[in-house]
């Protein structure tokens, strides 16, 4: 134990020394005249792919293994720390094309704070000291920082793409912020909806709030921000008016959604708002034809996402869970698409529950796709695409391909959570088999009944797994 702890501290010291050297690295205030003709060298390509793998795959997998209490969590995160340090070195050792100082370099320095904090907390927790005093707080802080890793990685990778492209400078900053923040918001919305539908139903029940209650609050608050931030100067352009009115649409519709979601009721207002937003963006005025086409496809995708959400609210309910499904009893994976327990309707040859489970991926995937399309629709990006004579069909299909990759990663991580660590035994016990004794549990009361419904919050707390501690 002593030797292992000593090695960890030696690694931490060398890691912080590397960070100090990198923080002293000089960035470029002016670019060489021949910079545009300089290629991106091999060292920088290795940096790009290595960091994308570490922050896009390795750390998220490690986070999931931490949530499931897998013994592979520490080795995987340790490997991620080492590769991150190597990636930082490569990012400052490349030759060839130079880049102006920007958010990517500054964010790289800032990220040493959570990385170092997470490492220190991990070492502290491995020592198993102060069990009744400081350790419980350290556990919570360690979890918060770990769960922030995917967000930090997403932001830094986005900054990296912006740096390579030379985008978002001067008068383009406002448009970049609008597209990248809102596009990332749609992607996050789709991912959270996917998690909620696949493994989070019992958590939603225990929260005492319908999914649309949470959606409507976010929509309303975001609408308030948009209403007062989309117009600058005295003159009103067409885009200013459209963006501002969309903000008004969101906070007014969000307020209605909050009211209708009282008493744990589901409603279709968030879906309607998504549809109207998609319709507005599908006919959004643009300078280039390719930009008009990409915005139109983004709008149509958003409309489909809203329609799919309304169908899910009105016609589909969570599947019945097996009483032998211990994951559901623990509240970790109740009603999960990845729980391996069979349902009554599945054993009998399929039915509406099976259709509902398959359909739940549609609104989530469409929201992720819409978010990526919106992020890829800035003027600078589309001018570049136009300059290389790529048509809108090819470009849009590339974006949908990326959305397939991203959504595959999301559902794979959810599946990993349900089959690793403390959940591994549960998934084995609940393996798909027609021999499992199945009991149809009552449909969840309140927000998981079809629309329209009468709230019975007192009953919603008596569904299997709802009162059990995680």
pLDDT tens-digit readout, 388-447: 999 999 999 999 999 999 999 999 999 999 999 888 876 666 544 333 232 333 333 333
Q: Which residue has the higher pLDDT, 29 or 223?
A: 223
Q: How many other CB atoms are there within 10 angstroms of residue 15's CB atom? A: 18
Rounded-to-integer distance, Cα 187 and Cα 258, Å: 22
Rounded-to-integer distance, Cα 346 and Cα 354, Å: 7
Q: Which residue has the higher pLDDT, 306 or 444?
A: 306
User: Which tokens in the block code for residue 209?
Assistant: 């709030």
pLDDT value for 434: 33
- Which residue is it, tokens 């990198």? 22
| pLDDT exceeds cutoff 80 at 161 | yes
pLDDT tens-digit readout, 365-390: 999 999 999 999 998 999 999 999 99
Q: Which residue has the higher pLDDT, 65 or 359?
A: 65
Long-range contacts of 333-336 (CB under 8 A, 24+ apart): 333/199, 333/417, 333/418, 333/423, 333/426, 334/201, 334/202, 334/464, 334/465, 335/201, 335/202, 336/198, 336/199, 336/201, 336/418
343: closest CA among 316, 358, 317, 323?
323
pLDDT value for 441: 33
262: closest CA among 454, 463, 48?
454
Percentage, residues of the chain above pLDDT 70? 74
| pLDDT exceeds cutoff 60 at 337 | no
- Decide if 161 contacts 376 (C-beta within 8 A): no
Q: Is the dihedral of CA 29, 32, 36, 40 positive or negative?
A: negative
Peptide bond before 452: cis, by omega within 30 degrees of 0? yes
What's the rounded mean pLDDT across residues 10-23?
53
| pLDDT exceeds cutoff 50 at 343 | no
User: Among 153-157, 178-182, 412-416, which is the least confidently predicted range?
Assistant: 178-182
pLDDT value for 454: 44
pLDDT tens-digit readout, 245-289: 899 999 999 999 999 998 888 899 999 999 999 999 888 767 788
Rounded-to-integer distance, Cα 138 and Cα 130, Å: 10
User: Which tokens in the block code for residue 51?
Assistant: 């960091």
| pLDDT exceeds cutoff 50 at 25 | no
| pLDDT exceeds cutoff 50 at 455 | no
- Decide if 417 contacts 64 (C-beta within 8 A): yes
Query: What DSSP letter does each residue of 113-165 carry, written as one string?
Result: HHHHHHHHHHHHHHHT-STTTTHHHHHHHHHHHHHHHHHHHHHHHHHHHHHHH
DSSP 40: B
| pLDDT exceeds cutoff 50 at 71 | yes
15: closest CA among 115, 147, 145, 123?
115
Integer-rounded Cα Rg, in Å, for the chain is: 24
Alpha helices in 24-41 (DSSP H): none
Q: How confident is the model at residue 191 (pLDDT cuts 50, 70, 90)?
A: very high
First-to-last alpha carbon distance for the chain, in angstroms, is 31
Q: How many other CB atoms are there within 10 angstroms of residue 61's CB atom? A: 21
pLDDT value for 307: 96
| pLDDT exceeds cutoff 60 at 132 | yes
Reduced to 3 states (helix: H, G, I; strand: E, B; else coil), residue 212 is helix
Rounded-to-integer distance, Cα 148 and Cα 448, Å: 30
Q: Work out the angle between the directed axes of helices 103-110 and 112-127 (0-180°, nearest 10).
A: 20
pLDDT tens-digit readout, 204-242: 878 888 889 989 999 999 899 888 877 666 777 777 788
Q: What average pLDDT is seen over the chain?
A: 78
- Decide if 223 contacts 248 (C-beta within 8 A): yes
Per the DSSP assignment, residues forming a β-bridge with 28 are 100
pLDDT value for 453: 42
| pLDDT exceeds cutoff 50 at 341 | no
């Amino acid at each position: 134990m002593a030797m292992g702890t000593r090695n960890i501290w030696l690694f931490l010291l060398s890691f912080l020394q590397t960070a100090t050297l990198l923080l002293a690295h000089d960035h470029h205030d002016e670019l060489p005249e021949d910079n545009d003709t300089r290629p991106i060298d091999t060292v920088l390509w290795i940096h790009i792919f290595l960091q994308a793998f570490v922050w896009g795959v390795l750390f998220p997998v490690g986070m999931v293994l931490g949530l499931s209490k897998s013994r592979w969590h520490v080795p995987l995160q340790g490997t991620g720390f080492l590769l991150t340090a190597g990636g930082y070195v490569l990012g400052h050792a490349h030759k060839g094309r130079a880049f102006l100082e920007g958010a990517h370099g500054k964010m790289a320095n800032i990220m040493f704070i959570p990385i170092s904090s997470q490492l220190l907390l991990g070492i502290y927790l491995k020592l198993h000291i102060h069990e009744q005093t400081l350790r419980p707080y350290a556990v919570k802080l360690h979890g918060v920082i770990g769960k922030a890793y995917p967000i930090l990685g997403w932001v830094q990778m986005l900054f990296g793409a912006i740096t390579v492209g030379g985008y978002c400078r001067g008068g383009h900053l406002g448009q970049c912020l609008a597209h990248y923040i809102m596009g990332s918001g749609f992607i996050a919305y789709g991912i959270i909806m996917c998690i909620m539908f696949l493994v989070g139903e019992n958590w939603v029940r225990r929260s005492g709030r319908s999914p649309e209650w949470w959606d409507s609050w976010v929509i309303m608050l975001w609408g308030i921000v948009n209403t007062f931030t989309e117009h600058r100067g005295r003159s009103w352009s067409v885009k200013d008016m459209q963006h501002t009115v969309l903000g008004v649409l969101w906070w007014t519709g969000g307020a209605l959604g909050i009211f209708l979601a009282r008493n744990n009721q589901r409603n279709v207002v968030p879906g309607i708002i998504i549809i109207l937003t998609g319709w507005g963006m599908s006919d959004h005025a643009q300078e280039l034809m390719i930009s008009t086409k990409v915005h139109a496809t983004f709008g149509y995708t958003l409309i489909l996402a809203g329609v799919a959400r309304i169908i899910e609210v009105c016609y589909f309910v969570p599947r019945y869970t097996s009483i032998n499904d211990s994951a559901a009893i623990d509240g970790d994976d109740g009603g999960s698409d990845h729980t391996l327990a069979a349902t009554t309707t599945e054993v009998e040859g399929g039915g509406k529950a099976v259709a509902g489970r398959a359909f739940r991926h549609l609104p989530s995937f469409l929201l992720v796709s819409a978010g990526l399309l919106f992020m890829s629709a800035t003027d600078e990006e589309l001018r570049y695409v136009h300059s290389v004579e790529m048509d809108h069909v090819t470009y849009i299909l590339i974006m949908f391909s990326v959305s397939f990759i991203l959504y595959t990663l999301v559902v794979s991580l959810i599946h990993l959570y349900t089959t690793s660590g403390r959940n591994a035994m549960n998934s084995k016990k609940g393996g798909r088999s027609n021999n499992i004794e199945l009991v149809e549990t009552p449909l969840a009361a309140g927000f998981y009944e079809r629309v329209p419904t009468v709230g019975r919050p007192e009953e919603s707390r008596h569904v299997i797994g709802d009162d059990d501690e995680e």
